[in-house]
Structure 1
Amino acid sequence: MLSINNLSYYIGGRPLYENASLHIKPKDKMGLVGLNGTGKSTLLKIINGDIQPSSGEIQKAKDCTIGFLNQDLLSYQSEDSILDVALEAFKETLSLQVEIEKVLQQMETDHSEAVIQKLADLQERFEANEGYTIKAKAEEVLEGIGFQTADLSRPLRTFSGGWRMRVMLAKLLLEKPSLLMLDEPTNHLDLPSIQWVENYLKTYDGAVVVVSHDQTFLNNCTETTVEVSQHTLTSYPGNYDYYKKEKTAREEIQQNAYENQQQMIKQTERFIERFRAKASKSNQVQSRIKALERMDRVSEVVRDDVSVNFKFKFSQKSGRDVVILDGVSKSFGDLRILQNTHARIERGDKIALIGANGKGKSTLLRIINGSEPIEGKREEGYNVIKSFFAQHQLEALDVNNEILQELAQEGTSKTETELRGVLGCFLFTNDDVFKKIKVLSGGEKSRVALAKTLISEANFLLLDEPTNHLDMQSVNILIQALQQYEGTFVTVSHDRHFIKGVANKIWYIEDHQIKEYPGSYDEYVYWRSQQVPKRTSASADKKELKTTPPVKNSGAGNSQAKKILKEKEKEMAALEEEITRLEQEKKRVEDQLADPKIYENEKELTRFNQLYAALKDQESRLNGQWEQLGEQIESLQA
């Protein structure tokens, strides 16, 4: 569908690409990865025709259409409603609708055969274009990426840049180009919206090329990974996890080949040096010199994975209770965020606060910080020293300071050598530490602000979207730093890879209450997937039991009864299988609690006790559903 052949592109004499090639097939789902500055976004702009390459060519099929979502669209504004902006994806269908309206007006005075035929032709084309469903499709996509029904009639200009970007994404998805290119599409999406886009892209009929720092997103919606590195493009036939594993294997082979070649080169050079002056060996010496000149040199592996050893210092540990919220309520006018809710944060908790935008996550973080007025009681524990990171902290950086100066002003007892070590962990090395804050990119400023937060010697961190503007390498560094952090933290994030790496508890806001799952994110996802369908099924069963009259065993009714009975028996079998699985999981937790070693670790003991209680509650609900199904089956068999 599209071929890139021998592409080269230079910026001020510096090569970004040299003789790079890539082929995109009609239904490829491709992730484009690489360090910041290697040229991922530039490649998309070259493919789109926004930038001309220095040399090489891009060939595409005649019927290939390209849709490109990039960060430049943040500035797009319009007085039209967001629904109308999204509907612009159907230009041809909308123009047919206008033509139909004109013909209908004409028919008020002209009833000729020609006019009637014109209307019939236009209506036929309109129907063939599925014109009667375009509004419903646009509404579905807009609501899928996070808009409320009431938002659809609001003008685009009234939304923030991030929400405008969502509208442009919706428009692109509705246009369905044969090649869809997305540059950091998850930057402005919350978790439910990210998951919706993932599912949409999995079944997308065209080719997709995605640049993203969200590793879980790439794993879930790409099947090929292309790495931008050392001015070229290298393809891996799998998702991001496959790429990481395969790249490690390739690098090991390359490094071994490099070391073997270097050893051979040294031996050859020693031979040349030793026998250069001997006439009897002159032919052999010349032969080896020519062999070295002709040799294709294997490059040493330049690793981009960074392992950090981040040493945190606390002037004092906090008490066991860090923050307690008791009967807390919070509203903004008619918008209710929290209603008489309770929560407790204990020393050593690593909490990820997740959920859709608009649920009040950042508000809750400010409440925990004590900077948001509330109804109810907030109690802070003994010796709690807080440090709060949010995107507005980037604006608080002194733009005239050098990076090293900015960290030194944090007021810690760290020496310059120690501060340089911290900055090295955040990819600021050598003379980078003397750069002025004002010349840094958004991602670099974010790394400086994070470094300031982490060296503050606080024993309680509050982190609001800390992975925003960070590339994969920086996210992994932050994960490693927080894994070594012995204090307590609460983080708001939509990055599932990050959450999986750092959280031991999951919080979410539901029905204006703070809900807690006492385990990892993967455990929470599995538990949640079991909860939601079962609750829906239970509600449906209750409704059916109340509203469905007994079916008499005769004629069509008998056939219907058998059909319902078969469905219920199938549900019963699935439910029994789920109960068996739950019993096995409960047994696993019981075995953990029976191990004397667990009583040496208070945090693990608490976690398993809470998990056991949650499993018991779930078992009780499932048994209740089983009894209910049993009664329905008995009624149908009577």
Structure 2
Amino acid sequence: MIRLEKISKQNGRQLLFIEASASLQRGEKIGLVGPNGAGKTTLFRMITGEEQPDEGQISTDRGVAIGHFSQDVGEMSGGSVVGEVMNGAGPVSAVAAELRELEAGLGDPDRAEEMEALIERYGEAQARFEDLDGYALEGRAREVLAGLSFSQEMMDGDVASLSGGWRMRVALARILLMDPDVMLLDEPSNHLDLESLIWLESFLKTFEGALLMTSHDREFMNRIVGKVVEIDGGALTTYSGDYAFYEQQRALNETQQQAQFERQQAMLAKEIKFIERFKARASHAAQVQSRVKKLDKIERVEPPRRRQSVAFEFQPAPRSGDDVVSLEKVHKRYGGRNIYEALDFSVRRKERWCVMGVNGAGKSTLLKLVTNATQPDAGKVTLGGTVKLGYFAQHAMDLLDGEATIFENLEAAFPRAGQGSLRALAGCFGFSGDDVEKRCRVLSGGEKARLVMAKMLFDPPNFLVLDEPTNHLDIDTKAMLIAALSQFEGAMLFVSHDRHFLAALSNRVLELTPDGVEQYGGGYTEYVARTGQEAPGLRS
């Protein structure tokens, strides 16, 4: 359906693609992977024609409809959410607009002379609308929006009043409703809660068209794709298998390439030693010349390209007491809605609680109560006397001084720390060399998240409270964070929609439901086994 043939593309001084080739066939579901800045978004834009390759060509079969979801959702103003989704549903929405225009013409007395032609055109448009299943369009739009966690009230509300994250869902719903031959999805799992993520996973599994997508959620990617295309060093390499197979195969390839490189280096060193030893001896001249020619003809094996990875390093935190935090008979209301009534809950040393619940259940509210970011209406929240709290919240990224550099932000937070220790801290979180001079306003979401974590962990806490810490982080950075947190000796309370993160780190589950609060011993994996569902909103 789509073929990329020996494409080359340069962005400024960076070579993104060098004679790279790949293809997307009918019905294939492909994950597009590669380090940040490798060119994933550029590849999508070249397929849709928004950008052109410098060399080579991209060809698409005649008549193939492409739906492209990107993080740049554009303007949405006026009209209902369901109307916005229906208007972007491709050919059927264009026919719907034509029908509305013809209906207005049929009711216009000034166009009486055109009535016969208008009636004929209306009949043709109506037939096309029926063929495209247009009369079921609104029902399908509402079904998709419900899957993405929109309430009926939100569906009928003004799209202009939505936050950026909810607008992302509207843009995604448009592409899903469009049902194109090919979907290009750039990070569709961003900004989704766990229930929406699982619904989207199910939708894409049954999608009959071709799919090319990126995602920072390894579990989501693993369950959908049957092939992986990797962008690295300007090349496109295709792996047949899911994401887990790709990881294993890539590691195996690296090991084999490293072994080949080392064997060749040993052989070259031996040959060079012989040449150096006997090059001055006339009796060995023929042998020396023969070996020099042999070396010239050998195709050199390159060492495997090692990706830069962030290494989170936790300094040992002071030991807390056994009682970390307790909530006694806590009540909390927002407006006319009760979030908590007489809530009793406690966290003890070395416990790692993940908090689960549907949108609006009170997950972030609980974290705010524990960290004293909000006060209970009644009841008591008590933090242990030797507890040192570290709180990662989404709004913390918005509070970074945009005009200050990364280093200046760290210096302002820790004025007594030496330059060397702050540069070492920045390096641990992926900011090396001149990166520390970047102004915060130009940082990506992932870079901002890493900076906030660096500030939180410089003076190590013994109680971590984390609200969606993996948002904006790529798969490799998430893996490093999980590895570091698994060594953390303190207590944890966290919210996350990343199932790999939940399974790897939790040893307790707090489930918030309309019927009350459930507490489970054992982590997320045990919770899934016990309830039969991966998220509270999916339980019958």
TM-score, normalized by the shorter chain, greater than 0.5: yes
Q: Is the aligned partner of 1:126 residue 2:125?
A: no
**Most deviating of 492-501 and 134-143:** 492-501
**Equivalent residue for 1:84?**
83
Q: Please state whether the residue corresponding to 1:341 is helix, strand or coil.
A: strand
Summarize the alignment of residues 495-514 of structure 1 with structure 2, pairs less than 5 Å apart: 495-511=498-514, 513-514=516-517
Q: Please state whether the residue corresponding to 1:338 is helix, strand or coil.
A: strand
Shift, 1:248, TM fit:
1.1
Find the partner of 1:518 among 512, 518, 521.
Answer: 521
**Equivalent residue for 1:200?**
203
Summarize the alignment of residues 354-365 of structure 1 with structure 2, pairs less than 5 Å apart: 354-365=356-367
Matched letter for residue 324 of structure 1: S
Q: Taking structure 1 as reference, are residues 389 and 119 closer, same or farther at Cα in structure 2, changes over 3 Å only?
A: closer
**Equivalent residue for 2:451?**
448
**Equivalent residue for 1:310?**
313
Q: Please state whether the residue corresponding to 1:303 is helix, strand or coil.
A: coil
CA–CA distance in structure 1, aligned partners of residues 289 and 516 of structure 2: 82
Shift, 1:9, TM fit:
1.0
Find the partner of 1:148 among 151, 171, 176.
Answer: 151
Summarize the alignment of residues 583-602 of structure 1 with structure 2, pairs less than 5 Å apart: none
Find the partner of 1:297 among 292, 297, 300.
Answer: 300
Find the partner of 1:389 among 392, 399, 411.
Answer: 392
Q: Please state whether the residue corresponding to 1:286 is helix, strand or coil.
A: helix
**Equivalent residue for 1:66?**
66
Taking only aligned residues, the RMSD between alpha carbons, in angstroms, comes to 2.9
CA–CA distance in structure 2, aligned partners of residues 346 and 189 of structure 1: 30
Q: Please state whether the residue corresponding to 1:326 is helix, strand or coil.
A: strand
CA–CA distance in structure 1, aligned partners of residues 209 and 50 of structure 2: 22
CA–CA distance in structure 2, aligned partners of residues 29 and 162 of structure 1: 25
**Equivalent residue for 1:163?**
166
CA–CA distance in structure 1, aligned partners of residues 147 and 387 of structure 2: 41
What are the superposed Cα offsets for residues 325-378 of structure 1, whole Å, 9 maximum, x if unpaired? Answer: 122222211233222222111111112223333222211110111221222222
What are the superposed Cα offsets for residues 79-130 of structure 1, whole Å, 9 maximum, x if unpaired? Answer: 02111111111324414643774697599x99x9999887765554433222
Q: Taking structure 1 as reference, are residues 437 and 94 closer, same or farther at Cα in structure 2, changes over 3 Å only?
A: closer
CA–CA distance in structure 1, aligned partners of residues 185 and 249 of structure 2: 24
What are the superposed Cα offsets for residues 198-231 of structure 1, whole Å, 9 maximum, x if unpaired? Answer: 1111111111111111111101111111111111
**Equivalent residue for 2:473?**
470
Shift, 1:78, TM fit:
1.9
**Equivalent residue for 2:496?**
493
Q: Give 5+ residue unaligned stretches, structure 2.
A: none
CA–CA distance in structure 2, aligned partners of residues 535 and 137 of structure 1: 23
**Most deviating of 444-453 and 426-435:** 426-435
Larger Cα-atom Rg: 1
**Equivalent residue for 1:222?**
225
CA–CA distance in structure 2, aligned partners of residues 183 and 535 of structure 1: 29
CA–CA distance in structure 1, aligned partners of residues 433 and 131 of structure 2: 63
CA–CA distance in structure 2, aligned partners of residues 21 and 360 of structure 1: 48
Q: Taking structure 1 as reference, are residues 485 and 99 closer, same or farther at Cα in structure 2, changes over 3 Å only?
A: same
Q: Taking structure 1 as reference, are residues 181 and 282 closer, same or farther at Cα in structure 2, changes over 3 Å only?
A: same
Matched letter for residue 38 of structure 2: T
Q: Is the 8 A contact 1:45 1:51 kept in 2?
A: yes
**Equivalent residue for 1:275?**
278
CA–CA distance in structure 1, aligned partners of residues 397 and 96 of structure 2: 44
**Equivalent residue for 2:242?**
239
**Equivalent residue for 1:568?**
none
Q: Please state whether the residue corresponding to 2:72 is helix, strand or coil.
A: helix
Q: Is the aligned partner of 1:459 residue 2:462?
A: yes
**Most deviating of 166-175 and 34-43:** 34-43
Q: Taking structure 1 as reference, are residues 284 and 80 closer, same or farther at Cα in structure 2, changes over 3 Å only?
A: farther
Q: Is the 8 A contact 2:215 2:221 kept in 1?
A: yes
Q: Taking structure 1 as reference, are residues 113 and 56 closer, same or farther at Cα in structure 2, changes over 3 Å only?
A: closer
| RCO higher in structure (CA 8 A, sep ≥6) | 2
Q: Give 5+ residue unaligned stretches, structure 1.
A: 537-638
Q: Is the aligned partner of 1:56 residue 2:62?
A: no
CA–CA distance in structure 2, aligned partners of residues 420 and 512 of structure 1: 50
Q: Please state whether the residue corresponding to 1:370 is helix, strand or coil.
A: coil
Q: Is the 8 A contact 1:99 1:122 kept in 2?
A: no
Q: Please state whether the residue corresponding to 1:291 is helix, strand or coil.
A: helix
Say how many residue pairs are matched. Answer: 532
Q: Taking structure 1 as reference, are residues 37 and 114 closer, same or farther at Cα in structure 2, changes over 3 Å only?
A: closer
CA–CA distance in structure 1, aligned partners of residues 419 and 351 of structure 2: 31
Q: Please state whether the residue corresponding to 1:187 is helix, strand or coil.
A: coil
Q: Please state whether the residue corresponding to 1:186 is helix, strand or coil.
A: coil
Shift, 1:186, TM fit:
1.3
**Most deviating of 86-95 and 39-48:** 86-95
What are the superposed Cα offsets for residues 478-531 of structure 1, whole Å, 9 maximum, x if unpaired? Answer: 111211111112112111122222111122311163322221212212222179
Q: Taking structure 1 as reference, are residues 440 and 161 closer, same or farther at Cα in structure 2, changes over 3 Å only?
A: closer
**Equivalent residue for 1:351?**
353
Q: Is the aligned partner of 1:186 residue 2:186?
A: no
CA–CA distance in structure 1, aligned partners of residues 78 and 140 of structure 2: 22
Q: Please state whether the residue corresponding to 1:506 is helix, strand or coil.
A: strand
Q: Is the 8 A contact 1:327 1:342 kept in 2?
A: yes
> Percent identity, aligned pairs only?
38
Q: Please state whether the residue corresponding to 1:336 is helix, strand or coil.
A: strand
Q: Is the 8 A contact 1:308 1:425 kept in 2?
A: yes
Q: Taking structure 1 as reference, are residues 398 and 124 closer, same or farther at Cα in structure 2, changes over 3 Å only?
A: closer
Shift, 1:64, TM fit:
1.7
What are the superposed Cα offsets for residues 27-47 of structure 1, whole Å, 9 maximum, x if unpaired? Answer: 111111111111111111121
Q: Please state whether the residue corresponding to 1:57 is helix, strand or coil.
A: strand
**Most deviating of 516-525 and 412-421:** 412-421
Q: Is the 8 A contact 1:310 1:484 kept in 2?
A: no
CA–CA distance in structure 2, aligned partners of residues 114 and 227 of structure 1: 54
Shift, 1:53, TM fit:
1.5
Q: Taking structure 1 as reference, are residues 160 and 395 closer, same or farther at Cα in structure 2, changes over 3 Å only?
A: closer
CA–CA distance in structure 2, aligned partners of residues 347 and 510 of structure 1: 25
CA–CA distance in structure 2, aligned partners of residues 411 and 113 of structure 1: 79
What are the superposed Cα offsets for residues 576-601 of structure 1, whole Å, 9 maximum, x if unpaired? Answer: xxxxxxxxxxxxxxxxxxxxxxxxxx
Q: Is the 8 A contact 1:76 1:164 kept in 2?
A: no
Q: Taking structure 1 as reference, are residues 506 and 67 closer, same or farther at Cα in structure 2, changes over 3 Å only?
A: same
